[in-house]
Structure 1
Amino acid sequence: MADSNRTPKRGFFAKFLDFVERAGNKLPHPFMLFIYLALGVIGLSWLISLFNISFEHPGTGEVEQINNMISAEGLEYILSSMLDNFTGFAPLGLVLVMMFGIGLAQRVGLIETFMKKTILNAPKSLVTYAIIATGIMGNLASDAAFVIVPPLAAMMFYALGRHPLAGMAAGFAGVGAGFTANIIITGTDALLAGISTEVATTINAEAAVTPLDNWYFMLFSVLMLMFVGAWITEKIIEPRLGKYDPSLGEDDVTNQQLEEITPEKNRALRNAGIAGLLYSILIAFMIIPSNGILRGEDGGVVDSPFIANIVPLILFFFVIVAVAYGLTTKVIKSTRDVPEFMTDAMKDMAGYIVLIFAASQFIAYFGWTNLGAFIAVTGADTLTNLNFTGMPVVVGFILLAAILNLFIFSGSAQWALMAPIFIPMFMLLDYNPAFIQLAYRIADSTTNIITPLNPYVPMVLAFMKRYDKNAGFGTLFSIMLPYTLIFLILWIIIFVVWTMLGIPIGPGVGMR
């Protein structure tokens, strides 16, 4: 007689996910990871310096050696540069300034109401598209979208007689797999561009990556993710889940009603929209005329004050619409409320600031020792000698980043790890650092929804179990895996075709 208590045989994918979870859980906190890496750079600089290895610096043409940090000069640099490494780190100011505006909009309730409005007002036939688009756009609210969109999407699907887990999957796919895409410039653009610029200047002092440099491609990606995500949901996920059995869910979940947006919040959204439109018209008057004050000296837009100052302009936009919304809902009662909401939003950035302190030291040490340039030159020469310098090597980089994302969930932390190695190497192969940053963003987004190290995976699983008591990690990953694989494959194909056609990935930005 067979043993009824025998553990079911686990498949290869389930074992692989177990391995990812175990391996990832053994990684230290990202802050300590950068500390250990900085110590590793110090030790490696001493070891390589013993062999008097030299190389020609690609930026200056001068012969350079590895600078030893375990020396009087190295110790002095560690102590004297610590504050400058931190306060001068390009992403720090960019992100904090962006979060003043976006955080204010989030604290007054504008972003949450906008997301609910988009989903609740969508025609039934377009609900799936609206959910995924809202999830993608929700990265304006950073991680808050993970908490808002998936459960709201499940409720919407259930109210329409559709399977709530399919709605939750669509919402989670939009928020997680579409995290790096948007139709407007967000904090993610500023953060990644800052890290890319910080690293690129070690090869070319004049190199710069702006928050707009990936905009064209990411703008198109929103449409691609929305339509493909809706197709996956309706053609793969829902048929696989079948008809929902309400008896599997908790009573308070299956009996709850969707909360309608109040007339006051509707008026607030309208007023915020009007304020944002008026501001946009004002900016347009400074750009569209050939003699507009935000145009460049040559009358162009690509190299202009508009592009150079895009972050402050976006800050003002979010402050204006947030204040208009807050005044209407009476969340903002006096001028003192605005800085208090901004201060409250900055509390969420404390962990980021601490992380950046460690990351900035690691990147600075990598540059000062010349290890970054040495690895870049060696790697580029090796790839050139192997005749492996075209699009295949970029696709290989995407796949590598996608795999590493299973172990390092933080996109900024992972890019701070990878950029010092891969940006210089690819720049020596004549690739634009903004182009390599774009390749990384594709990889970073797609695997967000299947990594056990995503802190929102347990939360989404908890939501799922409220609708289906039998749901487990296997349920979640089996539902989300089609999004990851199809998004990744299709995104890579579009990336390759886009490049081959020579279409700019941002204003005036291409592959080379």
Structure 2
Amino acid sequence: MKTRKGFFQKFLNYIEIVGNKLPDPFILFSVLALLIIIASSIFSMFGASVIHPGTGEELQVKNLASSEGLQFILTSMLENFTGFAPLGLVLAMMLGIGLAEKVGMLDYAIKRTILKSPPALITYTVVFVGILGNIASDAAMVLVPPLAAMVFYKVGRHPLVGLVAGYAAAGAGFTANLFIAGTDALLSGISTEAAAIIDDSVVVTPVDNWYFNIVSVFILTIVGGLVTNKFIEPRLGKYKGDAVEADVDEDPPKAGKAFRNAIIAAVIYWGIIVIGIALPNSPLRNEEGGIIPSPFLDGIVPIILFFFITIGVTYGITVGNIKSGKDISKYMGESMKDMSSYIVLIFAIAQFIAYFNWSNIGTWVAVNGAEFLKDIEFTGIWLIIGYIIFTALMNFLITSGSAKWALEAPVFVPMFMQLGYHPAFTQVAYRVADSSTNIVTPLMPYMVIVLSFMQKYDKKAGIGTFISLMLPYSICFLITWIILILIFYFVGIPFGPGITPFL
């Protein structure tokens, strides 16, 4: 007897079917790059321009089909690819994670530790860890999903369930955390500058959204777990992929001792890092002696990379899989082979994003959209809700959270200040909108990473599969956050120390 599917599941099925009929992602982004070239020609033909709200500079929409544009396309192609920030981050992270995986350490760790957790809590644990992972910035979007997939596979659940839950939590829950992260410092600095347009005495600090972020972690963990259990897992069903036949190896005789040594190495490693931060005049701190921002946070990816190399090498040597330096490079090379399809995709997506940014089309759409929202004269809390929806949609054009806030803050912070709203409150509205749709926009560079991971377990998975699995999280997180903002707003709960919606 077949289980009846509700309207939402049928809707997701439709999205998956249509989405998977799209061309291969490499071809798709190549076509999109061509469309940007055509669009830039049309915009330029009509003399489209916009005043950047932050700098006051007039930006013309530049024609990619012009002499200047063609020169840019040809001379920047290699730089667009090799300078694409997520490429280095992903490959560096996978060198360390791949080493730890290939020597068998991650497999053993999952089987002997995580699998002992109550099965009912595994989903919520993955979501919780994914949300907190943004303390490591974008690295969490690379680190959490594959590990979550391995966890779910080991407990007999569909690995794609763990993968999408991990990515959704790390991406859509990006702004929430129990700790003050680099994002808090970055956005608050932009907010303070924007507020100075109206009142230079108003300062937004990194802790001004902290209370809201803390509550968000626990609320989103529950929501993310429920979405996973009620929508995603029933949709995917029981895993019947080829990977099932691959996991038949017994643990090596010295695996227990090797894992113990890896834990000892991990403690020593992080102990050295902590001592290094605590030292007077530590090079890991900023000039004022603080950690946010600091070289420590800026260098968190290499620090995590060396951590995985340390524990991977320790485990490999003890268990006998690493006998010389050649073995280390061999295992790292094997992990890079798994990333070959991702590297190919990045070449196309890097060109598309570079063309989009160079042409100024994204800026033109964002600024004019903001002006429209201002002109329709919404008032009260509905103005904030309208702004949240607007920013969520803008995420499909500009994915960089800091770049988009640098563009929006000079428009919306002063506008809302004149209506009596605190800049930190406007910042909260921006953050929840920006985070919620991170995971469903094709412009997010980490989409192709997750898609590559998905195809490891399901070779037929395509963009439609990806969107249909991520959309429930995006919708539910956005609705949950809007409700949470309304609760804070009407109940009078401070968003941070002494921060209410109104000045």
Equivalent residue in structure 1 for 2:84, among 78, 86, 89: 89
Instruction: Classify 1:133/1:15 alpha carbon distance in 2 versus 1 (closer, same or farther; 3 Å).
Output: closer
Instruction: Classify 1:215/1:120 alpha carbon distance in 2 versus 1 (closer, same or farther; 3 Å).
Output: farther
Paired with 1:383 and 1:280, the residues of 2 have a C-alpha distance of 48
Instruction: Classify 1:52/1:150 alpha carbon distance in 2 versus 1 (closer, same or farther; 3 Å).
Output: same
* 1:216-365 matched pairs, under 5 angstroms: 264-365=254-355
**Structure-2 residue corresponding to 1:469:** none
Equivalent residue in structure 1 for 2:26, among 23, 28, 31: 31
**Structure-1 residue corresponding to 2:360:** 370
Cα offset, 1:172, TM superposition = 7.0
Counterpart contact for 2:54–2:407, Cα < 8 Å:
no
Give the partner amino acid of 2:120: T
**Structure-1 residue corresponding to 2:39:** 44
Instruction: Classify 1:172/1:429 alpha carbon distance in 2 versus 1 (closer, same or farther; 3 Å).
Output: same
Cα offset, 1:485, TM superposition = 7.3
SS at match of 1:339: helix
Give the partner amino acid of 1:58: P
Please give the per-residue CA displacement for 1:265-294, whole angstroms capped at 9, x wherever unaligned: 222222111111111111111212442231
Counterpart contact for 2:146–2:163, Cα < 8 Å:
no
Instruction: Classify 1:107/1:372 alpha carbon distance in 2 versus 1 (closer, same or farther; 3 Å).
Output: same
**Structure-1 residue corresponding to 2:408:** 426
Instruction: Classify 1:233/1:394 alpha carbon distance in 2 versus 1 (closer, same or farther; 3 Å).
Output: same
Cα offset, 1:427, TM superposition = 4.5
Cα offset, 1:323, TM superposition = 1.0
Paired with 2:239 and 2:51, the residues of 1 have a C-alpha distance of 65
SS at match of 1:336: helix
Cα offset, 1:175, TM superposition = 4.2
Counterpart contact for 1:181–1:221, Cα < 8 Å:
no
What's the Cα RMSD here?
A: 5.2
**Structure-1 residue corresponding to 2:371:** 381
Query: Which structure is higher in RCO with an 8 Å CA cutoff and minimum separation 6?
Result: 2
Instruction: Classify 1:365/1:131 alpha carbon distance in 2 versus 1 (closer, same or farther; 3 Å).
Output: closer
Counterpart contact for 1:132–1:174, Cα < 8 Å:
no
Counterpart contact for 2:433–2:478, Cα < 8 Å:
no
SS at match of 1:43: helix
Aligned residues: 416
Cα offset, 1:343, TM superposition = 1.2
Paired with 2:287 and 2:483, the residues of 1 have a C-alpha distance of 38
Paired with 2:162 and 2:70, the residues of 1 have a C-alpha distance of 50
Counterpart contact for 2:362–2:397, Cα < 8 Å:
no
* 1:149-188 matched pairs, under 5 angstroms: 149-154=151-156, 174-175=165-166, 177-178=168-169, 180=171
Matched, 1:392 2:385: yes
Instruction: Classify 1:128/1:485 alpha carbon distance in 2 versus 1 (closer, same or farther; 3 Å).
Output: farther
**Structure-2 residue corresponding to 1:508:** none
**Structure-1 residue corresponding to 2:52:** 57
Equivalent residue in structure 2 for 1:78, among 73, 80, 88: 73
Query: Mind listing any 5+ residue stretches in structure 1 that lack a counterpart?
Result: 156-164, 184-192, 205-213, 242-247, 251-256, 405-413, 448-452, 463-476, 505-512
SS at match of 1:64: strand
- When normalised by structure 2's length, the TM-score is 0.65
Paired with 2:27 and 2:357, the residues of 1 have a C-alpha distance of 20
Paired with 1:88 and 1:233, the residues of 2 have a C-alpha distance of 35
Cα offset, 1:85, TM superposition = 1.6
**Structure-1 residue corresponding to 2:416:** none
Counterpart contact for 2:161–2:228, Cα < 8 Å:
yes
Query: Mind listing any 5+ residue stretches in structure 2 that lack a counterpart?
Result: 131-140, 175-182, 195-208, 241-246, 414-425, 442-449, 460-467, 498-503
Paired with 1:354 and 1:461, the residues of 2 have a C-alpha distance of 19
Paired with 2:376 and 2:222, the residues of 1 have a C-alpha distance of 39
Deviates more, 1:376-385 or 1:52-61: 52-61
Paired with 2:477 and 2:304, the residues of 1 have a C-alpha distance of 29
Paired with 2:391 and 2:317, the residues of 1 have a C-alpha distance of 45
Give the partner amino acid of 2:40: S
Counterpart contact for 2:281–2:289, Cα < 8 Å:
yes
- When normalised by structure 1's length, the TM-score is 0.64
Identity %: 38
Paired with 1:379 and 1:482, the residues of 2 have a C-alpha distance of 26
**Structure-1 residue corresponding to 2:462:** none
SS at match of 2:288: coil
Give the partner amino acid of 2:374: T
**Structure-2 residue corresponding to 1:114:** 109
**Structure-2 residue corresponding to 1:507:** none
